[in-house]
Structure 1
Amino acid sequence: MVAGSLPIDGEAQLPMSNRKQGGWITIPFIIATMAGLTLASQGWVNNLIVFLIGQFNVKSINATQIFNVINGCVTMFPILGAIVADSFLGSFSVIWISSLISVLGIILLILSATLDSLRPPPCGNASNLCITPSKLQFAVLYLGITLATIGAAGTRFTLGAMGADQFDNPKHQGSYFNWFIFTLYMASIISSTAIIYVEDSVSFGLGFGLCAAANVIGLVIFVLGKRFYRHVKPQGSPFTSLARVFVVAIRKRKILLSQRSEDYYNKIHDGVTMMVVTTPTKTFKFLNHAALKTEGDIRADGSIAKLWNLCTVQQVEDLKALIKIAPLWSSGIFLSTPLAIQYSLATLQALTMDRHLGPHFKIPPGSMLVFILIATCITIVLLDRFLYAAWQKLTSRFPTPLQRVGVGHVLCVLSMALSAIVESKRLKIARSHNLQDQSVLIVPMSAFWLVPQLALAGIGEAFHFPGNTALFYQEFPASLKSTSTAMVAMFIGIAYYVSTALVSGVQRTTGWLPNNINHGRMDNVYWLLFVIGVVNFGYFVVCAWLYKYQGVAKVVDENPSSDDK
């Protein structure tokens, strides 16, 4: 079977040409949906630190820790949504259900921001103690955050995989991922500026209300495009099949392996062999036992007699593919960990710096992260439209996903070094004005000093985020396509948890991150992240050098007149 031509839900007897499902006609619906749902989620996530400090009297470092945990959940939960989509409900159902859950969560956040009974009294001047929120207030707040987080997680990367399912041509899929991520970041820019400005200047209630409206609009647009989508039918849990390979290989470990293809089981469906390779590859030879046929394994009709006694060669090769790519996947964790810490600490830095743009306008601290998004969007456009094309003309080859990810690693490391230098300058100014011993926290230094380091991080993301997404989508087995894009989210989510643990460890063992950062040495934190980035880059280079492409190497630049056009 051709990759991407899996069975279609509903009206399967109609020819694809008549139904006009899949292809570029679906992308306006998917992109518009992505924009609406991202506006909704980023509108409350990006300003969460300020909301917790200003509305719920949470201490600054604790607020950043909560922020990291929430971001970790937003990027970890997509793996669950992808598993449900691949195994049971399909991507379409997972997306619209998650969108409804997201709306419910944002409504609770609106109530927490507007009803006095659901939030503590605001802190007065420095001489008054801040009142801790009650259990009921915390319960409503955290329930709203939990529902909104689950909703955002269930849509983002499942929607990305569903969009890629609309194409058969890997080149079109790669172009789609670039524009998908471009939309993700452009919507984040709008939410990080317009919506956050409303939250800071008018009210959090109105800002969260705009998030809810964007969520509803995105959901409506998504449902309207239903008849155009290519709906890939769920094939059952692929993880069960992968687990079977381990179990069966252990059971048959004492049986000698064969060199003959007829001694291995190849699944037959409607008289057609479902795979190209008939003999397992020699890598991880132990797993080949799982596909080795023995007496009593196969019925007279050619089907497996007992599922946990025999696997197909394709299932064995699918597991091998995951094992091979696992080291590269793990390198993404410590690529994202420094970035996760930088995002939260930059907000705290902005809170202590002069954020005026002109005599009357003051940039919200949560909006400083918009410079990462702007840099990423501009770089993606330049790469997709100009730089990659120029590289292809010069070398006759398109940059590989691993090359793009490698550039992202280098830029991330440089961003940490620049962050450390800027923070050293900020601390020197604070100490020269004796601000470390005063209740006044504002340092006479423009917050725009943070822009270069944030822009550098954004340029790096334009390389490694689409690069990793395309790599995993193309290299993962066909049964795990939705899960493949969620795996990118998964290592980012793990990175947020690692960053939370790392910050907690730094707090316990050093004095670098006190509640008043003017007392600390945040520059040392950034230098620590620089060292972590350098070591991780070396690990990535070794993994990339040893890795051999599987799906990407087989990509054929099809005629543009194909069905994907």
Structure 2
Amino acid sequence: IVSEGLAALAFTGVEVNLVLFLKLVLRHSNAQAANTFATWMGTLNICTLLGAFLSDSYLGRFQTCVLFQTVLVLGLVLLSLTAQVFMLKPGGCGRTGRVCDEPSRLRAGSFYLSIYLLALGSGAVEPALASLGSDQSETEDEKTAFFSYYYVALNLGSMVAETVLVYVEGSGRWVLAFWISTGCAVSALVFLLGGVSKYRRIEPSGNPVSRFCQVFVACVRKRNLEAPSSGAELHESDPDGRQQRLPHTHDFKRLDRAAMMTPSEKTMLSLKGQTPSPWHLCTVTQVEEVKCVLRLIPIWLCIIVASVAFAQVLSLFVEQGTTMNTKIRSFEIPPASMIIFDIITISTFIICYKKILSRKRQIESPSELQRIGVGMAVSILAMIVAGLVERNRLKHADRGEETSSLSIFWQVPQYVLVGISEALINVAQWEFFTSQISDGLKSLGLGLSMSSTALGSYLCSIIVSLVMKVSSRNGKAGWIPPNLNEGHLDRFFFLSGALIACDLVLFVACAKRFKCIQVLKKDNTEK
């Protein structure tokens, strides 16, 4: 738990102001900075798939945590050295109003290498570290308590970074902030290694993706066979029920061929006592595992589109904030620190939501899909509010300048709404993707839920590029120009809201058609 809190502090210290660093130090435009950030965040979240795969298949959870926390440290060390030695030239640059000299390609390449090492280390360690912690729990109550404390630690670490380190970076002391993040990452690794002799370790269970591929290969090999009329004709092993089994279902019937037994395979099983290769004959449970994943894909695709709103919090929201009035008397508020309202909202909403449900147990709690749908509706509202705030900001824009007299606290509602949306969608999809898939593919379910945010970031980057390409024709400034006072960021927010609204309609249609997973108990009854 302590290791996660420190690692979150280290990572967030770089993440929260990366857009400003790109603009002030690497001299990126608003659109370039937003695209670079979205791509980087997408890579970060895709790396969670790599971490989940390696921890469950080959390395084990502890070794995966040590490996990628070391990568995290190396990335931060390289970033700190690159910023200190090469990038912050001339001295005192890197703050609002004092842009640095444009770095050479070699120096910029060193910077990009460092932040992508950071993305690899931070992204890949997340599923492994959470799983390692839950492995130490013996009861369901202990696991629930662990994940609660784990989430609190993550948010506390992020909150410290988004208040203390954001202020340090906002004053132009980037090198100091990066070295503080590096120290926290080293401390996180030390705390992790401190319990090496006490951890309960679970051995890797093998490659879950190979079982997925075996079904398709076996199905293709038997493509000329006639589909079976009932599940009783299909192959299943483990009759004693020592392992989790899934009953046969009637959708995706073509895949059932993978579990059909040819005469030669029947002979091998009944007379010779041999088991055919899984690349030729699969079990019903294997086939049903694939069906479970295929049923999840439409829901997963809808969540990817909804995640476009989350990708804007640390990019376009921050860029919008930099053009607003950030002063309270003599104190200047770093625009990136406004995300603290997002974090506080997420934590407060989840705690209050759980307490309300625990007090009113007679009320049936909303299902995971219902919570995801409500979260999408809230994200639409967040985009509309962000667009209205931007229109109001433009009315107060200073002529000939890049700033506006409108207070940055007008952004609070959009951060709060995005926080509620994140709490509803992310927590619900975690529960949904792990509950609607078999035990043998839990890591794949976890990877799918985490990768939705990643692909949402990539989608946001693509949308920004397309919007700028279309809106900047005929010499126009475009919707997201370097000077936002000359653009129409409000239209982009409204476009995002409209896109998520269309996505919500598709999501409701998919949710109504979704069939929940069934599991065979030891007495062969379904649950």
Q: Do they fold alike, i.e. is TM over 0.5?
A: yes
- Look up the match of 1:507: 468
C-alpha contact (below 8 Å) 2:27/2:99 kept by paired residues: no
Deviation of 1:526 after TM superposition, in Å, equals 0.9
Higher mean displacement: 130-139 or 526-535:
130-139
Gaps of 5+ in 2: 472-477, 522-527
Secondary structure (helix, strand or coil) at the match of 2:312 reads helix
**Aligned equivalents of 2:379 and 2:44: distance in 1?**
22
Where do residues 185-200 of structure 1 align in structure 2 (5 Å cutoff)?
A: 185-200=155-170
1:341–1:314 Cα change, 3 Å: same
C-alpha contact (below 8 Å) 2:244/2:519 kept by paired residues: no
Secondary structure (helix, strand or coil) at the match of 2:263 reads coil
**Aligned equivalents of 1:235 and 1:184: distance in 2?**
28
> Which amino acid is 2:356 matched to?
L
Q: Deviations over 1:451-494 (max 9, x none)?
A: 11111110121111111111112222212223322222211111
**Aligned equivalents of 1:125 and 1:282: distance in 2?**
62
Where do residues 508-547 of structure 1 align in structure 2 (5 Å cutoff)?
A: 508-510=469-471, 511-547=478-514
Q: Deviations over 1:206-259 (max 9, x none)?
A: 111111111122222223334444433222221111111112112223334446
C-alpha contact (below 8 Å) 1:280/1:313 kept by paired residues: yes
Deviation of 1:173 after TM superposition, in Å, equals 5.2
**Aligned equivalents of 1:355 and 1:140: distance in 2?**
32
1:165–1:258 Cα change, 3 Å: farther
C-alpha contact (below 8 Å) 1:372/1:454 kept by paired residues: yes
What is the TM-score normalised by the length of structure 1? 0.84
Deviation of 1:129 after TM superposition, in Å, equals 9.7
Deviation of 1:172 after TM superposition, in Å, equals 6.3
Does 2:315 match 1:348? no
Deviation of 1:522 after TM superposition, in Å, equals 0.8
Does 2:178 match 1:208? yes
Deviation of 1:295 after TM superposition, in Å, equals 2.7
**Aligned equivalents of 1:266 and 1:210: distance in 2?**
56
- Look up the match of 1:471: 432
- Look up the match of 1:294: 262
Q: Deviations over 1:309-366 (max 9, x none)?
A: 1111111110011011111111111110123134311111111111123x23211122
What is the TM-score normalised by the length of structure 2? 0.90
1:212–1:301 Cα change, 3 Å: farther
Query: How many positions carry a matched residue from both structures?
Result: 511
1:506–1:50 Cα change, 3 Å: same
**Aligned equivalents of 1:462 and 1:126: distance in 2?**
33
1:241–1:65 Cα change, 3 Å: same
- Look up the match of 2:278: 307
**Aligned equivalents of 2:196 and 2:238: distance in 1?**
32
1:339–1:128 Cα change, 3 Å: closer
Specify which of 50, 55, 76 is matched with residue 106 of structure 1. Answer: 76
C-alpha contact (below 8 Å) 1:388/1:399 kept by paired residues: no
> Which amino acid is 1:274 matched to?
Q
- Look up the match of 1:51: 21
- Look up the match of 2:475: none
Gaps of 5+ in 1: 1-30, 555-565
> Which amino acid is 2:17 matched to?
N
- Look up the match of 1:26: none
Specify which of 4, 11, 15 is matched with residue 41 of structure 1. Answer: 11
C-alpha contact (below 8 Å) 1:423/1:523 kept by paired residues: yes
Q: Deviations over 1:279-319 (max 9, x none)?
A: 62222121111112223334566443333211111111100
- Look up the match of 1:79: 49
> Which amino acid is 1:388 matched to?
L
Does 2:289 match 1:318? yes
**Aligned equivalents of 1:191 and 1:165: distance in 2?**
29
Deviation of 1:428 after TM superposition, in Å, equals 1.0
- Look up the match of 2:391: 424
> Which amino acid is 1:354 matched to?
N
- Look up the match of 1:240: 210
> Which amino acid is 2:514 matched to?
Y
C-alpha contact (below 8 Å) 1:55/1:119 kept by paired residues: yes
C-alpha contact (below 8 Å) 2:43/2:119 kept by paired residues: yes
1:414–1:504 Cα change, 3 Å: same
Deviation of 1:264 after TM superposition, in Å, equals 2.7
**Aligned equivalents of 1:551 and 1:162: distance in 2?**
27
